[in-house]
Structure 1
Amino acid sequence: MAEKLVAEALPWENREYRVGTAEQCMNWTREILVAACGEHFATLETHNPWDKHLLGPDDELLPEHVDSLASDEFGQKITSIAALQPGDLVFLKNTYGDWAEGVLTHVGIAVGEGRYIHRMTSNDGLVKINTIPAEDFDSGIRLKDSLCQIQ
């Protein structure tokens, strides 16, 4: 699965994704997951994300939210940048918005050497490879290979 994810993600570097529409990091990540591993990734989501205890009573859990795939049911939680491998999803916290401290707000895909590819949370909408910011890093997930259906 990891190789498929990276292979689908890398051609996006420096390309635009939904220009003028902010907060598209999870939609881009899901598009990569669908292309690499099947349509079920379009709507796959947990109801017990790792940051659930930080969410307010009126906060909805939806597939387009970053934390929708942040759950032990989908794979192994990675707690350090150094332990990430290419193809792991990378979750950042507190990157924007009026969320409680620690809520997951950004996602991308690890590409190795402490870097990740992601749709920038900005209206210019570029997909970039950047160093994973240690100050915002929360965790990663190594998705279960069994989630990847043959394409």
Structure 2
Amino acid sequence: MRIIFEIGESSKHRPQASVNQLSTDDASQSFDDWKYAIASVVLVVLMVSPASGWLDSLTIVHKLQSMVGILPQKGASTTSPVAVRVLKRARAWVGRDFKPGESERCADFVRNILAEAFVEGVGVTNQPWDAGKQTNNGELMARSFFGSDIGKVMTDQNQFLPGDLIGLTNTYGSLPTGAITHVGIYVGNGEFIDRSTRSEPVKQRNIRRSFPNSRVIAVRPHVY
């Protein structure tokens, strides 16, 4: 810890510029200098901390890393190459018609995207998240994706990643509350790509604004 204090003390002896002399570039450079100084201290702490103090040091390190942006925060995930392929194919359909004139083709659209991205093994769930809410199931049903046998099911939007499949409840019909009736592909930033009606093309849109009364569920297929 002596190294930390020495770095802090040395900074006190630097000449301070007047307000008029401090440009935007100088301020930015000063911030960058401190950012990397802190990062260096983190590395030193990791190297010199005794085994008995490892847990405390690790806690401090995670906080510093989060503050200066050196590494992702604990629990962060990255989009898989398979999910990237799926999202690329979905984006290619935005603004284009998918089977115009045919109703209830949201799941058909998603399965078509998976096929175009050469993703195999995303079948029909035998453990639907909305069990008991509806009886019909099959490849053309939105609910057919949302089961733990298909992938990791999530309800916390902070966990969603681009390429995840997004399910929405009660978008039409008179099914019991909680029935999944629509599906699309997550883009990020609260948006997804979906094919919703027979008369409109595929869209990329905000989930909450488009479906304010629906619950949002996501599944990340095991094949990702």
TM-score normalised to structure 1 length? 0.85
| Cα distance in 2 for residues equivalent to 1:50 and 1:136 | 15
Q: Which has the larger radius of gyration?
A: 2
Where does 1:12-51 land on structure 2 (aligned, <5 Å)?
Answer: 12-38=93-119, 40-41=121-122, 44-51=123-130
Q: What are the equivalent positions in structure 2 for 1:88-103 lying under 5 Å apart? A: 88-103=164-179
Q: Which amino acid aligns with 1:77?
A: V
SS across alignment from 1:109: strand
SS in structure 1 at match of 2:117: helix
Alignment correspondent of 1:54:
133
Asked if the contact 2:124/2:150 (under 8 Å) is kept, the reply is no
Distance 2:121 2:106 in 1: 18
Instruction: Tell me the equivalent position of 1:111.
Output: 187
1:139 correspondence with 2:212:
no
Instruction: State how far apart, in whole Å, the 2-side matches of 1:5 and 1:14 are.
Output: 17
Structure 2 distance, partners of 1:140, 1:76, is 8
Q: In 2, Cα distance between the equivalents of 1:60 and 1:135?
A: 23
Q: Deviations over 1:5-55 (max 9, x none)?
A: 1011101001011111111100000000111134554xx111221111222
Q: How does 1:122-137 map to 2 (within 5 A)?
A: 122-133=197-208, 134-137=212-215
CA RMSD of aligned residues (A): 1.5
Unaligned runs of 5+ in 2: 1-81
Residue aligned with 1:30, SS: helix
Q: Which has the higher contact order (CA 8 A, sep 6+)?
A: 1
Higher fraction of helix: 2
C-alpha distance in 2 between matches for 1:135 and 1:81: 15
SS in 2 for 1:37: coil
Unaligned segments of structure 1, at least 5 residues: none
Q: What CA deviation, in whole Å up to 9, does each residue of 1:89-147 have, x standing for no partner?
A: 00000001121111000000000111000002x22141000001253133101112xx2
Matched residues, number: 140
TM-score (norm 2): 0.59
Aligned partner of 2:147 in structure 1 is 71
Secondary structure of the 2:203 match is: strand
Tell me the distance in 1 between the aligned counterparts of 2:97 and 2:104: 13
**Sequence identity percentage:** 31
Q: Relative to total residues, which structure has the larger strand share, 1 or 2?
A: 1
Letter in 2 for 1:74: I
Runs of 4+ in structure 1 deviating by more than 2 angstroms, as ranges, are 37-41, 80-83
